Amino acid sequence: MSEIVTETSNNGIQNFEPIVRYQKVSKSFGDTEVIKELDLDVAPAEKIGIIGPSGSGKTTLIRMLMTLEKPTSGTIEVDGELLWHKRVNGNLVPADEKHLRKVRSKVGMIFQQFNLFPHMTMLRNVTEAPIHVLGLSREEAEERAITMLEKVGLKDKLDQYPRQLSGGQQQRVAIARALVMNPKIMLFDEVTSALDPELVEEVLAVIKEIALEGNMTMLLVTHEMQFAREIADRIVFINGGTIIEQGPPEEIFENPKHERTQNFLRRFNKKN
Amino acid sequence: MPFLLKGVVVTIELTVMAAILAFIMAFIAGFARLSKFAIVRGITQIYVEIFRGTSLLVQLFWVYFVLPFFGIELSAMMTGVLVLGLNYGAYASEVIRSSILAIPKGQTEAGIALNMSPSLIMKRIILPQAMLIMLPPLGNYLIELIKSTALVSLITLHDLMFCGTMINNVTMRTIEVYSLVLIIYFLLAYPLTLAIRRLEKRLSAGRL
Amino acid sequence: MWDWEFTISILPLLLEGLKITLIATFLAFGFAVVVGLLLAIASRSSVKILSLPVKAFIEFVRSTPLLAQLFFIFYVFPKFGLVLTPLVAGVLGLGLHYSTYLSEVYRSGIDSIPRGQWEAAKALNFSKARTWISIIIPQAVPPIIPVMGNYLIGMFKDTPLLSAITLVEVLQTAKIIGAQSFRYLEPITMVGVIFLILSYVSSLGVRWLELRLNQR
């Protein structure tokens, strides 16, 4: 798999059937355009690290895929289906809630602020969606949830509430909560930015484990360069709402071609 | 219709007079609850609890029907002004009290440092600031007061509500009469609601 | 002046009236709790044909006297073939009036929920209804319970208005006693005392609730 991707990003030929496709996507908040006619194809099972300065639009990019923000123009396809639009007699019309929910079921997301449900125990945080969205029985949902919580190393915290756990533990539960829905594509929005430094590692380890399993498509917006380098098949550098440069991690980190990429990485290395 | 308008005039008269009394009572009680004398605070507390704890309509009935037993006979209008004024004064005293308490202690201390007398500090420093804080909640009470004036129709004061009922009894045009009454009350109260919202916005934007 | 014997003799009657008062209060409160929530949700809807009329309705009901609304319901509805008993009309009027106040209370509770909660619900593909039931309402309601308690006390104190549409609750009972015995002093004073005791005790209850919620 990573072979194909490397090849693609090297010569720009797209010889895979993308699972995610952004086409001429723009997004404005009021007068500020945060994404400008951006194109991006993501291969199935590809792991993409999205880097860039704050305010570059990288978070908006994945939030549009989660349907949290609506593109101002352009189209996004997920697994061969248009996300924000429906094709009716050859014309594009805005998608209705039913269509959104259908496509949304293929995507999951981990947030910077965890966004666990504070009024639910850990177990219920993870079982609520399988029961009410997938329609699983409580037993089945709990069985799956416990497997996932085991995977993130938190099987013993089932009956605790979010506020009783550390940030790192909360974020791991959030990961289990997203995994249990079995999405094809998982989005990570600066998932370690809100964590104390000593808690970052435990969360990254869990993500790395998921990445190594291989078959999930992952888009990671991150400031953890070392981490991105380790797990990503491709690094996308975004600045000012457009992709400035993309390619295999070694290429971007060792030998960035674009001046803005070089500046960004230099400034970043200095800070750390 | 002209009869209804006479009722509107009575409703407005009653609202204005009761509001003035309520405002005075609220200030007296609001300050009294900040008094350093426990007995003053205690008496005020009793006044506030009695008027907040019993129902407004019960108070109206009590003054109108029971006070004559003690030889005090008040007209319906007097009763309305007195009870509405005392009742809303009790509620609003809390607004006065908390607004004054909301002014930082540093303001008083700055006044002392300038060798101002306590009354001067209150008049020149605390009150001008507290007034701004208390305006929106007092305005909301004024709206509630307008709506509450309808109760005096039940002690036979010829206000808007009473006139509406009278006209209904004579003409039997129930739908038109009661709809019109509702709309007139709305026209009386709603502009005030909008004004208070504007005031609140300007206050929270710090432009006053 | 004050006749204790008379007072004691009328007490059972007054308590009978109080029972009606309390029934009306709780029924109307239950109505307002449910309808208030529905109004709050509807007024947040992105469907303008739904949210705008609901907002207008809330503004209108809040800007007109409860008494005028009660008369409207009791005397105008029958013209459209909807004859209501005094209790039903009273519960409907009182409940509807306070539902507009409670909708504002709900709104403040809903607004205080972080945006991330809505986003997480979306990311887990919850339906709109499920998001409200599982995520929003369970978090929005507990902090506003004391405020709702205060409105319950407010409703209790407004039930004497239902006497105007011929409901024989506690105040109307007192008036009837007064008219029959020509003694208004004891019955109306006793009604005042009953209200004072009940609302004072319940306000202590609300304060206790507030303290407990703050501790959590």
Task: Report ipTM (2 d.p.).
Answer: 0.89
Strands A73-78 and A81-82: antiparallel
Number of helical H runs and strand E runs in chain A: 10, 12
The pLDDT assigned to B208 comes to: 56
> Could you give the number of structural domains in chain B?
1
Rg of chain A taking only CA atoms, in angstroms: 19
The pLDDT assigned to B159 comes to: 93
Tell me: pLDDT of C121 over 50.
yes
Which of B61, B185, B190 lies at the smallest CB-CB distance from C59? B190
3-class secondary-structure state, position B104: coil
Q: Do C135 and A117 touch (CB under 8 A)?
A: yes
Q: Do C63 and B186 touch (CB under 8 A)?
A: yes
Which of C114, C123, C138 lies at the smallest CB-CB distance from A66? C123
The pLDDT assigned to A14 comes to: 52
The pLDDT assigned to A268 comes to: 82
For residue A41, which of A78, A2, A71 has the smallest C-alpha distance?
Answer: A78
The pLDDT assigned to A48 comes to: 96
Structural domains in chain C, sorted by start: 4-215 (1.10.3720.10)
pTM given for the model: 0.85
d(CA A203, CA A234): 21
Between these two residues, A10 and A57, which has the higher pLDDT value? A57
3-class secondary-structure state, position A243: strand
Is A116 in the C-facing interface, judged by CB distances under 8 Å? yes
Tell me: pLDDT of C131 over 60.
yes
Is A188 in the C-facing interface, judged by CB distances under 8 Å? no
Q: Do C1 and B55 touch (CB under 8 A)?
A: no
Residue from B73, B91, B182 to probe the interface with C (highest C Cβ count within 10 Å): B182
Nearest-CA distance from A234 to chain C in Å? 24
Residue position matching structure tokens 């109760």: B151
CB pairs under 8 A between A and C: 59
Mean pLDDT of A212-228: 93
Give the CATH number, domain containing residue B85: 1.10.3720.10
Residue position matching structure tokens 């039997």: B172
Mean pLDDT of A80-101: 87
Tell me: pLDDT of A208 over 90.
yes
3-class secondary-structure state, position A234: strand
The pLDDT assigned to A4 comes to: 40
Contact list in B for residue C184 (CB cut-off 8 A) is 61, 65-66, 69
The pLDDT assigned to B207 comes to: 57
Residues 144-163 of C with CB under 8 A from B: 157-161, 163
The pLDDT assigned to A15 comes to: 61
Rounded mean pLDDT of chain A?
Answer: 90
The pLDDT assigned to A9 comes to: 43
Q: Do A104 and C138 touch (CB under 8 A)?
A: no
Alpha helices, DSSP H, located in chain A:
2-11, 58-65, 97-104, 122-129, 138-151, 167-179, 197-213, 225-231, 249-254, 259-271
Residue position matching structure tokens 């089932």: A158
Tell me: pLDDT of A45 over 90.
yes
Alpha helices, DSSP H, located in chain C:
4-43, 48-62, 66-71, 86-111, 115-123, 128-130, 137-140, 145-158, 170-181, 185-215
The pLDDT assigned to C216 comes to: 65
Tokens coding A246: 């993309």
Tell me which residue range forms the domain holding B29: 2-204
d(CA A179, CA B81): 67
Q: Which of A26-30, A128-132, B123-127, B175-179 has the lowest mean pLDDT?
A: B123-127
Which subunits sit against C, judged by 3+ Cβ pairs under 8 A?
A, B
The pLDDT assigned to A64 comes to: 95
What value, to the nearest 5°, has the Cα angle with vertex C29 and ends C28 and C32? Answer: 85
For residue B26, which of B122, B134, B169, B102 has the smallest C-alpha distance?
Answer: B134
d(CA B137, CA C212): 27
Is A181 in the C-facing interface, judged by CB distances under 8 Å? yes
The stretches in chain B having pLDDT less than 70 are 206-208
Is C213 in the A-facing interface, judged by CB distances under 8 Å? no
Is residue B140 a contact partner of residue B164, using CB atoms and an 8 Å limit?
no
Q: Do C124 and A97 touch (CB under 8 A)?
A: no
Tell me: pLDDT of A69 over 90.
yes
Q: Do B49 and C196 touch (CB under 8 A)?
A: yes
What value, to the nearest 5°, has the Cα angle with vertex B90 and ends B84 and B93? Answer: 130
Which of B52, B61, B161 lies at the smallest CB-CB distance from C65? B161
Residues paired with residue A186 on neighbouring β-strands, in sequence order: A108, A218
Are chains B and A touching, using the cut-off of 8 Å on CB pairs and a minimum of 3 such pairs? no
Is B197 in the C-facing interface, judged by CB distances under 8 Å? no
Tell me: pLDDT of A219 over 50.
yes
The pLDDT assigned to A2 comes to: 40
The pLDDT assigned to A92 comes to: 84
Is residue A197 a contact partner of residue A228, using CB atoms and an 8 Å limit?
no
The pLDDT assigned to B206 comes to: 67
Residues 42-101 of A with CB under 8 A from C: 66-68, 97, 101
Mean pLDDT of C179-208: 92
Q: Do C157 and B55 touch (CB under 8 A)?
A: yes
Nearest-CA distance from C115 to chain A in Å? 9
The phi-psi region of residue A107 (left if phi > 0; otherwise alpha if psi is between -120 and 50; otherwise beta) is beta
d(CA C119, CA C111): 14
